[in-house]
């Protein structure tokens, strides 16, 4: 009998063990299934800079109430504040999307010194200003292709945050050099003068560097549109591009066309890609309180969203995230002159629909001919306004160069019952839109840093591991016993100089190289000089290069 019970006990134990193995296998399979459900090969991040719900509402009414391409994927809200301010500027806002960390206003993809907003953790003093590896840089390190598409100049805050690191978002020449040396595979937008040796203060031939490294470099859309190179920089304006309503006859491509071209090129990489597309000038139109510019740029951006969604829906490996970086202008459909019952839809639209140019486009046409008669003629032709007051005519005459949209925007807004509270950013949440082939998208109210976390998760990229040992400071190198000097003899090309075993190593800022005599070595990351505190951060693999 004892033997019987022992056999029975052994059978039960065996059965339990088998069941545990089965359950464990099922759990493992489910876990793998969940990971497979989440993971994608490609991410397209689209940023309509400064866009609010008022912007999308006006654009939707402008096109007869037809839905925008982005409408179907709205899924949540995003908190936008920076590390030190409830109202962010574009630099820390883009940094949050690029790195998963908040930083200070004006900083691009570096750790902050000041973290005064609730819930924002203070970094250690040794890490103040240290560069943070971006999702674009990490994607490139794991073998993916990378791209930036925009309508501003490429060193502007939003594209810059993904491929540059600085405490001064206005250092366009330094930022441009970093983006070039980061070798982003596809760059399409404006800003030719920042790679032209004849227009740069430091005379660096960045266009030549790109060509020598296998890039097609062009300022002609006609030249590029029928080509499909592996790597390309297409910069179609000396500085920023025209608003979409003003683009006719310029030879510049639309944002949708540039997005289509970028996807055509980047999708050749079997390892996948990361692409950031910015509707840059929604923000600029909002700063000017120009509703015509808002409609122009929101619709142009939405056309690019359609291109991205069509691409993603034609396959099963691509996610699309659409998210503004912040609000701008405090725009409302309705102002103090409007009442609920008296203002009809046509009252909002009639003047905007008559406009065929933005305020910036009208400024080009008026030029220096600022007579009363010419102003009235041009505004009548391109805005359909025939009742300008003398005060309005005088305001147009006295507008500063490049700022006529700040005059014409309010003129048409007043006639269209559109309100504005400011010419600057505001601090409310923005709408999150997301498409994933398996429906795995964020919901509810999330932080802007969580957008980066989500993208890294679905791409299978551990950003934290990249940041653990990416950069080392000049002080840390000195602590290791090396002789370290920051050479500022050429203020346009500050260098870190290291003496070790009788050899001198020169590390230029904004480049990913180390020079030792006749030898030149490439480093993993671009080297960064932080001018405000005179700290130099270099790619940490430099220490290994020096030891050899």
Q: Are residues 185 and 152 in contact, defined by beta-carbon separation less than 8 angstroms?
A: no
Q: Is 198 helix (H, G, I), strand (E, B) or coil?
A: coil
Distance (Å, rounded) from C-alpha 459 to C-alpha 344? 47
Q: In 3D, which of 523, 463, 69, 442 has the Cα closest to residue 274?
A: 463
Helices and strands (H, E) in the chain, number of each type: 20, 22
Contact residues for 459 (Cβ-Cβ < 8 A; gap 6+): 39, 40, 41, 43, 135, 139, 144, 272, 274
Q: In 3D, which of 430, 428, 451 has the Cα closest to residue 101?
A: 451
Q: What Rg value do the Cα atoms of the chain yield, rounded? A: 27
Taking CA atoms, 270 is separated from 137, 145, 328, in Å, by: 18, 9, 39
End-to-end Cα, the chain, rounded Å? 75
Distance (Å, rounded) from C-alpha 529 to C-alpha 167? 9
What beta strand segments (E) does 193-350 contain? 216-218, 232-235, 273-279, 318-322, 327-328, 332-333
Contact residues for 265 (Cβ-Cβ < 8 A; gap 6+): 145, 147, 185, 186, 228, 229, 230, 231, 232
Q: Are residues 260 and 214 in contact, defined by beta-carbon separation less than 8 angstroms?
A: no
Task: Report the 3 state secondary structure along 24-75.
Answer: HHHHHHHHHHHHHHHCCCEEEEEEECCCCHHHHHHHHHHCCCCCCCCHHHEE
Distance (Å, rounded) from C-alpha 529 to C-alpha 509? 6
Is residue 145 annotated as a catalytic residue, yes or no?
no
Distance (Å, rounded) from C-alpha 123 to C-alpha 48? 30
Q: Which of 90, 267, 296, 540 is catalytic?
A: 90
Q: Is 494 helix (H, G, I), strand (E, B) or coil?
A: coil
* Angle separating helix axes 359-366 and 372-383, nearest 10 degrees: 140
| Token pair belonging to 145 | 């292709």
Q: In 3D, which of 80, 62, 63, 60 has the Cα closest to residue 72?
A: 60
Q: In 3D, which of 155, 147, 132 has the Cα closest to residue 46?
A: 147
Q: How many CB atoms lie within 10 A of CB 468?
A: 9
Q: What sections of 445-525 are H helices per DSSP? A: 448-459, 463-468, 474-479
Catalytic residues: 90
């Amino acid at each position: 009998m004892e033997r019987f019970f022992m056999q029975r006990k052994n059978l039960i134990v065996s059965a339990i063990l088998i069941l545990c193995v089965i359950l464990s296998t099922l759990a493992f399979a489910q876990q793998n299934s969940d990971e497979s459900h989440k993971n994608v090969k490609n991410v397209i991040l689209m940023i309509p800079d400064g866009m609010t719900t008022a912007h999308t509402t006006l654009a939707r009414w402008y096109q007869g109430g037809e839905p925008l391409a982005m409408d179907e994927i709205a899924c949540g809200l995003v908190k936008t504040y920076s590390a030190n301010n409830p109202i962010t500027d574009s630099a820390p806002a883009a940094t949050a999307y690029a790195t998963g960390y908040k930083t200070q206003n004006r900083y691009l993809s570096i750790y902050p010194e000041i973290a005064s907003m609730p819930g924002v953790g203070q970094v250690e003093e040794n890490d103040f200003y240290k560069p943070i590896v971006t999702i674009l840089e990490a994607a490139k390190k794991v073998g993916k292709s990378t791209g930036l598409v925009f309508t501003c100049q490429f060193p502007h805050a939003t594209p810059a945050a993904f491929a540059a690191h600085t405490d001064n978002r206005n250092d366009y020449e330094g930022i441009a050099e970093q983006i070039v040396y980061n070798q982003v595979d596809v760059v399409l937008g404006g800003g030719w003068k920042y790679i032209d040796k004849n227009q740069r203060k430091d005379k660096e031939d960045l266009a030549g560097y790109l060509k020598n490294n296998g890039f097609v470099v062009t300022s002609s859309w006609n030249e590029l549109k029928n080509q499909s190179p592996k790597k390309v920089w297409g910069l179609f304006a000396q500085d920023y591009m025209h608003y979409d309503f003003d683009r006719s006859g310029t030879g510049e491509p639309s944002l949708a066309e540039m997005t289509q071209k970028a996807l055509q090129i980047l999708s050749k990489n079997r390892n996948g890609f990361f692409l950031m597309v910015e509707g840059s000038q929604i923000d600029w139109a909002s700063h000017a309180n120009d509703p015509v510019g808002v409609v122009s740029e929101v619709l142009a951006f939405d056309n690019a969203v359609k291109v991205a969604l069509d691409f993603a829906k034609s396959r099963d490996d691509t996610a699309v995230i659409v998210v503004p970086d912040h609000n701008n202008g405090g725009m409302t459909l309705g102002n103090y002159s409007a009442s609920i019952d008296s203002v009809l839809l046509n009252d909002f639209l009639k003047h905007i629909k008559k406009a065929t140019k933005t305020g910036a486009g009208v400024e080009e046409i008026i030029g220096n001919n600022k007579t009363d008669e010419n102003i009235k003629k041009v505004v009548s032709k391109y805005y359909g306004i025939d009742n300008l007051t003398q005060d309005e005519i005088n305001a147009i005459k006295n507008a500063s160069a490049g700022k006529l949209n700040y005059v014409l925007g309010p003129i048409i807004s007043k006639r269209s019952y559109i309100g504005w509270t400011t010419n600057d950013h505001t601090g409310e949440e923005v709408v999150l839109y997301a498409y994933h082939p398996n429906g795995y998208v964020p919901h509810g109210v999330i932080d802007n840093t969580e957008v980066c976390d989500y993208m890294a998760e679905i791409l299978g990229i551990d950003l934290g591991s990249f940041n653990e040992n990416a950069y080392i400071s000049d002080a840390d190198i000195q602590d290791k016993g090396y002789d370290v000097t920051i050479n500022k003899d050429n203020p346009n090309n500050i260098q870190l100089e290291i003496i070790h075993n009788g050899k001198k190593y020169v590390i230029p800022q904004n480049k990913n190289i180390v020079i030792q005599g006749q030898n030149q070595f490439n480093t993993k990351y671009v080297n960064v000089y932080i001018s405000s505190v005179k700290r130099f951060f270099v790619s940490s693999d430099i220490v290994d290069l020096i030891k050899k």
